[in-house]
Amino acid sequence: MSRYELRFSGAGGQGLITAGIIMAKAASIYEGKQAVQSQSYGPEARGGASKSEVIISDGPIDYPKATTVDALLAMTQEACNKYTHDLKKGGILLVDSDLVKTLPEGNFKIVSFPIINTAKNDVGREIVANIVALGAMVALTGQVSRENAEKAVLSSVPEAFLELNRKAFSIGYDKALAASA
Amino acid sequence: MSKKVAFLQGNEAAAQGALYAGCNFFGGYPITPSTEVAEVMSIELPKIGGKFIQMEDEIGAMAVVLGASLAGAKALTSTSGPGLSLKQELIGYGCIAEIPCVVYNVMRGGPSTGMPTGPSQSDVMSAKWGTHGDHPAICLTPASVQETYEEVIRAFNLSEKYRTPVFVMPDEIVAHMRERVVFPEKGEIEVLERISPTVTPDAYKPYDTSCGDVPPLAAFGSGYKFHVTGLNKAQDGFPTTKAELVQAEEERQVRKVDANVDDIVHFEEYLLDDADVVVVAYGSTSRSARFAVNIAREQGIKAGLFRIKTFWPFPDKQIKALAGKVKGFIVPEMNLGMCSLEVERNAQGKAPVLGIFRVDGEPINPDQILAKIKEVK
């Protein structure tokens, strides 16, 4: 049974749980696969290490949490230190190159680009950094199509911010492809 | 026409299930990790003419739910461990006064405020022993978002059918994870309504058992007047200390559930036919267990899963039957051994019961269960 595990990690308030939800929604509602999204977080509303996990499969998903992670996003150094221990051999690690300076050693593919700065400078709003990161994860993992992921993004954000999020997703997708080439 | 689907959190699905079941009253006090139920109900109930009240605390929240139910509403409250402790006195009141309602309790670390954002399964004993005195107990422990939706509907049905409070107790993982939910059409899942009296108001007795163990319940405000008390009562609802009456009433209240276990106890058997080792699990832990059982089977170990859906009444009969056939039971749970006590009680020494207990806020993972399966010789 195909079982693909993703983890979105960073600091509370960066919108990574939302990014995980949209990825899972894309797989479950639009791609016709099965998906489970779960999360763990501390008592803080902001700050503190936070993670959101998504399991995608063609069949029923038993254990809803990650066992060995296929693809991991780390948006802070703390998250990178804390959550990369169970990254699979040959897996993918995406980091924000401005915030994660010390990379873990291991047999996996590391992709890095300045995610938050891309949101700030190329998209125009730092707040959509999570959608830039989501676009990048969609491009790197290939678990859902670009079109289905975009549909999931647009059905999950407020109407006034559709264009902003569409742009963030698209730029994240293209930057990740360029950074991993 | 294709069915409506949504990608929902367990708590959101619980609220939607309640609405499907006809819930038209919510009284609560917000608490992590159950608050999303209150959030959804506060948005949805006003749209259908229902009432949402955030009370001053959990005690008030339980009281208002009992009051609303007596006035004919289908009433829900949601909470978590510390709130459940506060509600217990009034849950007992609901049991003795026989007031239907649903208590949705998301299990987080405890005791006391414990670990608010961490998962746990340590409230299952509270569902039966949390309020004092002999009383009926029904507690459902769903394992997925879809099942949470459906079990909340079943909880409302059971509460109306047996005229008693019913618990739904997902662990925090089930309550907060998100999965696809397929919504049933109206009428696709049976929704039970309360048995109303057929006698005139002047002839009505709120605990009249002439038609069976579950007396019809009139709604306050519908012309029927009756007395409600937490004291042992006679058929007319007024307190009594008459020995034979009290004995008979206490026994009847417990019998409402005990005599109907086959109707109430739901479970799932997975690969049990030839199983040497049976994992008995509930909630999110049962998903780790199924994962482990599948790996064990791939390795040639005859493992199976007995998944508890109704925790109370406990599936005594089923575990007793298995005990004579298996080499051992494994009970993984996010507490220090609660379900395992019940399994031991039913195993009656015929098969060893090995527990895997975790209270560090992390889920029990499949590797832990697989390792324990291999310990059974």
pLDDT by 10s per residue, chain B, length 377 = 578 999 999 999 999 999 999 999 999 999 999 999 999 999 999 999 999 999 999 999 999 999 999 999 999 999 999 999 999 999 999 999 999 999 999 999 999 999 998 999 999 999 999 999 999 999 999 999 999 999 999 999 999 999 999 999 999 999 999 999 999 999 999 999 999 999 999 999 999 999 999 999 999 999 999 999 999 999 999 999 999 999 999 999 999 999 999 999 999 999 999 999 999 999 999 999 999 999 999 999 999 999 999 999 999 999 999 999 999 999 999 999 999 999 999 999 999 999 999 999 999 999 999 999 999 98
Question: Which helix (DSSP H) or strand (DSSP E) does residue B317 occupy?
Answer: helix B316-323
From the list A24, A43, A63, the residue facing B178 with the nearest CB is A24
Q: Is any Cβ of chain A less than 8 angstroms from the Cβ of B82?
A: no
Question: Which residues in chain A are contacts of B116 at CB distance < 8 A?
Answer: 43
C-alpha to C-alpha distance for B335 and B119, rounded to whole angstroms: 10
Domains in chain B, CATH or no CATH each? 1-264 (3.40.50.970), 267-375 (3.40.50.920)
Whether A63 sits inside 8 A of B291 (CB atoms) is yes
From the list A92, A106, A79, the residue with the least C-alpha distance to A10 is A79
Question: Which residues in chain B are contacts of A30 at CB distance < 8 A?
Answer: none
Give the structural domain span for A48: 3-180
**How large is the ipTM?**
0.94
**Smallest Cα distance from B194 to chain A, Å:** 36
Q: Is any Cβ of chain A less than 8 angstroms from the Cβ of B229?
A: no
* pLDDT tens per residue, range A121-161: 999 999 999 999 999 999 999 999 999 999 999 999 999 99
Cis (ω within 30 of 0) for the bond into B313? yes
Q: Reduced to 3 states, what is the DSSP secondary structure of residue B151?
A: helix
C-alpha to C-alpha distance for B65 and B140, rounded to whole angstroms: 19
From the list B117, B284, B294, the residue facing A41 with the nearest CB is B117
Residue B163 corresponds to which tokens in the numbers above?
A: 């005229």
Q: Reduced to 3 states, what is the DSSP secondary structure of residue B25?
A: strand
Whether A63 sits inside 8 A of B365 (CB atoms) is yes
Residue of A nearest to B288 (CA): A63
C-alpha to C-alpha distance for B131 and B329, rounded to whole angstroms: 30
Question: Which helix (DSSP H) or strand (DSSP E) does residue B54 occupy?
Answer: strand B51-54
Half-sphere exposure of B329 toward its Cβ, with a 13 Å CA cutoff? 31
Question: Phi and psi at residue A14, in whole multiples of 5°?
Answer: -80, -5
The domain total for chain A is 1
From the list B271, B285, B275, the residue with the least C-alpha distance to B376 is B275
C-alpha to C-alpha distance for A60 and A2, rounded to whole angstroms: 10
**Smallest Cα distance from A88 to chain B, Å:** 16
CATH of the domain at A169: 3.40.920.10
Contact yes or no for B108/B119 (Cβ under 8 A): yes
Whether A64 sits inside 8 A of B177 (CB atoms) is yes
Whether B116 sits inside 8 A of A38 (CB atoms) is no
For position A45, what pLDDT does the model report? 59
From the list A29, A42, A67, the residue facing B365 with the nearest CB is A67
For position A43, what pLDDT does the model report? 65
Tokens 């059974």 sit at which residue?
B376
